[in-house]
Chain A
Amino acid sequence: MTSLRGWLNRVVSAFRRQSLDDRLKDEIELHVEMATNENIARGMPPNEARRAAVRSFGGIVKTREAYRDAAGWPALDALWQDVRYAVRAYRRTPGFALVVVLTLALAIGANTAIFSLLNALVLRDLPVRDPATLVQVSTTTATQGESNLTFPMFRELSARQQVFSTVIGAWGNSRLTVSDGGRVTKGLVWAATGNVYEELGVRPEAGRLLVPGDMTVDPPSAESVAVLGNGFWRRHYGGDPSVVGRTISIDRAPFTVVGVAPPGFTGFGLVTEPDITIPLAATPLLSGGSPSMLATTASRSVRAIGRLKSGVTIAQARANLEAVWPAVREAALPPGYTGPRRSDFLSIRLDVTSGSNGNERSLRTRYVQPLIILLGIASLVLLIACTNVASLLLSRASVRRHEIGVRLALGASRWRVARQLITEGVLLSLAGAVFGITLSFWACREITDLVFEELLVPVVFDGRPDTTVIALTTAVAVAAGMFCSALPAWRGTRGTAMEALQAEGRTFSVSGRTGRVLVGAQLALSLVLLTTAGVLVRSLSELRSVKTGIERSDDVFVAYPDAAQPGAYDGLDNDAYYPQVLRRIEALPGVTRASVSLSKPGTGGMLREPVVRLGDTQDADGVPSARSAVAPGFFAAIGIPVLKGRDFEWRDNSRGHGVTILSQSLARQLFGESDPLGQRVQIGLDPSRNALEVVGVVADARLYDLRIADVLAAYTPALQDRDVNYKCFVIRGRNLSHASLKDAVESLRTEQLGNMVTLQYITERSLLLERLTAMMSSLFGSLVLLLAGVGLFGLMSYAVAQRRREIGIRMALGADRRRVVRDVVREGLTVTLAGLAAGIVAALATVRVVETLLFGVTPRDPLTLAAAAASLVAIAMLACAVPASRAARVDPMIALRGE
């Protein structure tokens, strides 16, 4: 008889009970009035007539009940009743409710925060049209790793492929100088083919966006246009639409602003919004060239994103692209590439992956696995919190045995009473979820801020929970609440009402064995978690204690200069400028030595190139090494001793002959015991470095990655490198202030100074991931220790309270207090040790999953395991102490009389 429509109507009417009651009241009034009138008409006296009318109507209360039932949804009403009852019960024991809600809030909050970050980083699609059919194409080589395509590759691939309806090319972002009139600022410049906005379904906020005809390589077109990013437009132009038509300069190249992108458009990345977008063909203009230069470039800087034709799968696309790839490579071979450079170029492989969730490969390589491991740890915390809450609810059910007995005796079904208990559990977990989700918003923002702290641009990455995450969390919370309360509900409502009523205050126990099993399981899980947290913390401290080979890194400053104004670097004689600027820096008080490095020390920002020994025993493959280009004084400034030969000198400049300095390990690997000085090596494939004379050997130093022990490193003079203008100053000194350094550098009117940090800061930054995982897992560890204490304390207090009488009898019979205490502690320790035994087995079996995150410590580190177990035993002793002393204070007379 009940249709969907009827069901929906009931749900609706559950929320308008008042108006239904009113409606029935009207009906009854009318009915009785009419019946009375009819009775009067039949000749009854008015009073009698009304009474008869009411009588024939029947029970008004019963009618109202039936009316409500017909209108509503009885289960919903009953649920509401349960909820109100539960709230009343918790108001009587707010402490209990608070402990449970806080426990669950922390556990749920941690899970939500980590899952939310994972969701934002990996699972969420790009906010563009039909992201699922986007495919990204990149390249890899054995020597240089992953990269993009050269423009000729991109063009050839677009022309030859048969699987994409459209291919978009994108370049950047690059942080460049942007000027408008007198206003000079830095902006993230992104470049893309003109089809990008239309293909991604992006509409302009003002003016127009790039279109396919805007600028092309062939035929070269003269008009250079730019689209402003929404955030940039708001920050610098106050959201004024009249910006359209203005001319701005990017590194001195003029561009006409044609429009503004909508808010939230992040290109193919997730972290930043492009400040300015220009046509891909216009990128050579930024370095003073012309679009036609793209046709022959060897720089692999174009990212290709294809839109799958309908019905084509990514596997088919991969097959097709790989089939045309050799021809593409051949056609795109840069002019003048012969010999090893040609074969290197022709060995470039293709990589085809889904583009639906955007391109953040480096971020994902670093963070996804640790986040998954942290999520595992956090779910373990949730599981532990649930067992803890379950045992709390269980002892609560024992306390409420009488109440439950009364309800059963009054005819409530077992299911009805159990449902009440489950409702109470779910209510607590939902309250926990509310606090937990709030907490996760805060945590996500803090973590995101920390991770992106070093990016000097506004970050739009949003790791906070979205509706999907919130819905999922709520579902998990309800499940957790049911999980927590299912066992107490089942155990607590067992037996007949009679048993329950008789058991009041006696030795009847529902939480005895079940409670011990729950607490034991909780301790076992806690040990697994503590061990995992322990090895992560130990790994961090191992990393921190690594000998880097760098002396006193807190006295080494790294500062980043940049052109004072666009074009300041043009025609600059660096051979003269370098000594000049470094002399000024060294003149500052407190500075002992200043130098320049073209790669940023302390991070992975190094070049990997093979070093080949030239001469009789030539090994064609060479030794893959880290190459960095540095100026004279670098080793003294950073604190790496020169062991043999000499440091670079100012004569090793663009006019001098090519030289190199090797690290001790590399020198030994290349030349064995023979003297490396005066020997010749080839570094990489660049012709300018095909015969460098070894002039020195320096000590090994973990300059770039703390994790790599044998640092094979080759140093070349900065002035013999191409990118001499992109550098950082490396300065050894005390109390160096940013302001004085800024004055010294800027007094030459060539460069301006950006930010300045210590090498120690950079090293700490490079450990961010390890710090985050260690910090979070030790936070979870302390929480879990606390919960273990609370769980065991609850169990033992309850056991002592229940056995007051027994203890009293034993004492009356002459048992001494020490013995009573020992028995209580022994019981607590039995549970603890049983839990720990199970925990050790589980920990040994599972802790391997964190292996890839560890440095200098094995996952099954016995010391950590022992420490974790010891801390749990200590907590257990502490948790038993209070109940044991309570047992010792039992007065036999009172305990016996209490019956």
Chain B
Amino acid sequence: MPADRFDVLHGSLALMILRTLDTLGPSHGYGLARRIEQISGGQFSLNQGTLYPALLKLEQEGWITSTWGSSDNNRRARFYAISRTGRKQLKAEAEKWSKTSQIVARFIDPTEDLA
């Protein structure tokens, strides 16, 4: 099922989008893609196309909104912004994520004794 393909990245990508929109403010898709690559320090090479389905899904869940606006060079572009429920979701997801990564880190960290 194609949906599975999408869901693999979905959790983390959604979190990145929400977080970026929260700090950056409203942005168009390209700006968002560049920003995510920048923040990840170029280590996370985003297949930029996958951003758009994720944006659409987030919008349908009501966590982000999109409006038409003008870009820097006066090109008509769709701008995405985080919504109030999106912020709540971001908070919840971020907590969940940091908890998960802490747990995973404990397994990976060689200083911890698993026995």
Contacts and interface: CB of A to CB of B under 8 A. Distances in A.
Interface of A: 1-3, 5-6, 9-10, 13, 20, 23-24, 26-28, 30-31, 33-35, 37-38, 56-60, 62-63, 65-67, 69-71, 74
A34 B10 contact: no
Interface in B1-35: 1-3, 5-6, 10, 28-31, 33-34
Given A58-B49, A59-B49, A67-B53, A33 B2 contact: no
Contact of A3 (B1, B3, B54, B61): B61
Given A30-B75, A70-B53, 6 more contacts: A1-B61, A3-B62, A34-B71, A66-B2, A67-B53, A70-B6
B29 A27 contact: yes
A8 to B, nearest CB: 9
B100 interface: no
Contacts of A33: 75
Contacts of B30: 30-31, 34-35
B60 A10 contact: yes
A26 B56 contact: no
B1 A9 contact: no
Contacts of A58: 47-50
Contacts of A10: 60
A6 to B, nearest CB: 5
Contacts, number: 85
B94 interface: no
A3 B62 CA distance: 10
A31 B3 contact: no
Contact of A24 (B28, B52, B73): B52
Given A1-B61, A27-B29, A31-B30, A69 B50 contact: no
Contacts of A1: 10, 61
B53 A69 contact: yes
B75 A71 contact: no
Contacts of B50: 58, 63, 66
Contacts of B48: 31, 35, 56-58
Contacts of A35: 30, 48
Given A1-B10, A66-B2, A69-B6, A30 B28 contact: yes
Given A27-B29, A66-B50, A67-B52, A6 B60 contact: yes
Given A9-B60, A30-B75, A30-B77, A74 B52 contact: no
B78 interface: yes
A70 B53 CA distance: 6
Contacts of A74: 1-3
Given A35-B30, A58-B48, A74-B1, A66 B53 contact: yes
B88 interface: no
B109 to A, nearest CB: 30
Contacts of A65: 2
Contact of A69 (B2, B49, B61, B78): B2
B60 A62 contact: no
Contact of A66 (B6, B60, B75, B77): B6
A258 B52 CA distance: 70
Nearest to A71: B56
A55 to B, nearest CB: 10
A36 to B, nearest CB: 10
B57 interface: yes
A613 to B, nearest CB: 91
Contacts of A69: 2-3, 6, 53
A56 B60 CA distance: 26
Nearest to B2: A69
Contacts of A38: 34
A38 B31 CA distance: 11
Given A1-B10, A3-B61, A58-B47, A27 B2 contact: no
Contacts of B3: 69, 74
A13 B78 CA distance: 18
A419 B45 CA distance: 40
15 contacts: A3-B61, A5-B61, A26-B78, A28-B49, A30-B77, A34-B75, A56-B48, A58-B47, A60-B49, A63-B52, A66-B2, A67-B52, A69-B2, A70-B6, A70-B54
B29 to A, nearest CB: 6
B37 to A, nearest CB: 9
A74 to B, nearest CB: 6
A125 to B, nearest CB: 41
Contacts of A3: 61-62
B69 to A, nearest CB: 12
Nearest to B60: A9
Contacts of A60: 49
Nearest to A59: B49
A74 B54 CA distance: 16
A30 B28 CA distance: 9
A457 to B, nearest CB: 59
Given A34-B71, A63-B49, A5 B62 contact: yes
Contacts of B49: 28, 57-60, 62-63
A767 B5 CA distance: 70
Nearest to A61: B49
Nearest to B9: A66
B61 A67 contact: no
Nearest to A26: B78
Contacts of B28: 30, 34
Contacts of A37: 73
Residue from A23, A38, A58, A67 with most neighbouring chain B CB atoms (10 Å): A67
Contacts of B47: 57-59
